Amino acid sequence: MSTDFSNNAEESPEPRKAEVKGCIPSWLQGTLLRNGPGIFSLGDTSYSHWFDGMAIMNSFAIKDGEVTHRSRFLRGDTYKANMDANRIVVSEMGTMAYPDPSKNFIFKAITFLNHTVPDFTDNGASNFIKYGNDFYATSETNYIRKIDPVTLETLDKVDYLKYLPVNMVSSHPHYDKEGNAYNMGTSIAEKGKTKYTLFKVPAVTEKDKNSSEKWAPALKSSEVVCTVPCRSLLTPSYYHSFGMTDNYFIFIEQPFKLDILKMATAYMRGVNWASCLKFCPDESTLIHLIDRKTCKVLQTKYYTRAMVVYHHVNAFEDDGHVILDVIAYSDTSLYDMFYLSKLKEGLQDESYSKPSYKRFVLPILSDKDVTVGEDLVKLKYTTASAVKEKEGKLMCQAEVFCKGFELPRINYDFNGKKHRFVYGNCVEESALAKEIAKFDTETKERIFWSEENCLPSEPVFIPRPNTESEDDGVVLVSVINSNPGQLCFILFLDGKTFKEIARAYVDAKLTMDVHGFFIPQGN
């Protein structure tokens, strides 16, 4: 059975109990939020790219062995403007919105000026972020929308630029044990310089919790940790995530760049903003290590071949090395696969470049007494290398674990520490996953789950409380079920065996989404 991904979703804002088959562990209590595009056409206009669709949020509340589902569209300024006009009037990355032909010249002139210095969308259809005690729907622009994680109502609009000099921000922050959040954003031509800004959003203190003052976003207390100068002023690198260990942040400056000048003229030239992204395969990728204690970038420069990374798996330290696991592509064809015209063809395209799960090893010891051409990696369990080319410059070669693996998730209790297991989607033949897998980084073996005519989401691992075993927990997956007469469902897999322990059929049609965020009960 085929699924038409250009069909508009329907929201179900009232809570509905799901029909549970099997036994959900009693310790699993909380809410899984999932986010993704949901509306693709309005009036006589349509989005060109799947990522551009207006966001729909789903929640699966799990309590005492039962599951309650609800969904809502994200009702931000973008949603309201489009709905009021009954057409797409706010541009997205892959779709440039043009005014109604019946509008007068002044209206068209204002629209043109708004696109020359663009005010980006607040259509947060990529992920959820927690800052302080608040949850936000996010994409990668300077706007995020606060949401109620219980009712999924859309609340305040927050602009990063009011608190930090960042025009674009990653949708994959990191969190430490104290609840502090860390994220990265790009500052475009700020004081004549384009740079990458790493910032911290402190956890909420007891004093803050008990304060009677009017609500303010936790970003109000944010602080810049470090800035990394861009290699080129008007073509900053695109990135979707970064890495963090106990002592380091890891940022990949890849030769996948956003051309700012082209972006400013895109509307006038009749092209979308995505066309202003360019991949430079002849250029190298530069990996930056940032010391968390000194808040400075290490002087050693780690280079590797041109690649495109959207998702970091994890990073950790071992005996003077930083180990970095990523999902890497050899080109940018993945984005093109999600144009709705391609999705209608079933994503079967010879140009598809399947990703590789790669492990890089970055030695952090001085290379002063090392001869040129020597490999500085001393770990015995990896074939990754870091060869000295000249003082302060290492050329890194990754170990490839497997291919056709994406949307990686680990036990986040092991974030920044040595992990063994990774859960993800299998994308061997196309970017559309029909099965998911548990990957063992030691044995290189995979265990799979799939079901006929079913499309699984990114798997989210939830650890059993107070366990010491890395894979002791449950994997949550929302599943689009295209079998006639059958409902979509949320799947519960045993984290160790990857066998089904339960499923909950929801009385609503689920749609393909992007990322999920689990909120434990009482958090």
Residues ≥6 apart with Cβ < 8 Å to 375: 385, 386, 387
Distance CA 439, CA 417 (A): 17
DSSP letter at 427 equals: -
Is 515 annotated to bind a ligand? Reply is yes
Distance CA 101, CA 372 (A): 64
Residues ≥6 apart with Cβ < 8 Å to 230: 186, 193, 194, 195, 196, 236, 237, 253
CA–CA distance from 508 to each of 71, 222, 503 (Å)?
9, 39, 15
Is 49 annotated to bind a ligand? Reply is no
Is 172 annotated to bind a ligand? Reply is yes
H or E stretch at 106: helix 105-116
3-state secondary structure of 494: strand
Residues ≥6 apart with Cβ < 8 Å to 39: 8, 9, 53, 54, 56, 73
Q: Are strands 393-397 and 301-304 parallel, antiparallel or unpaired?
A: parallel
Reduce the secondary structure of 71-84 to three states and give it as a string: EEECCCHHHHHHHH
Q: How many CA atoms lie within 13 A of 437 on its CB side?
A: 19
Distance CA 277, CA 325 (A): 25
First to last CA, the chain: 39
Report the binding-site residues.
172, 240, 311, 515
Report the binding-site residues for Fe cation.
172, 240, 311, 515
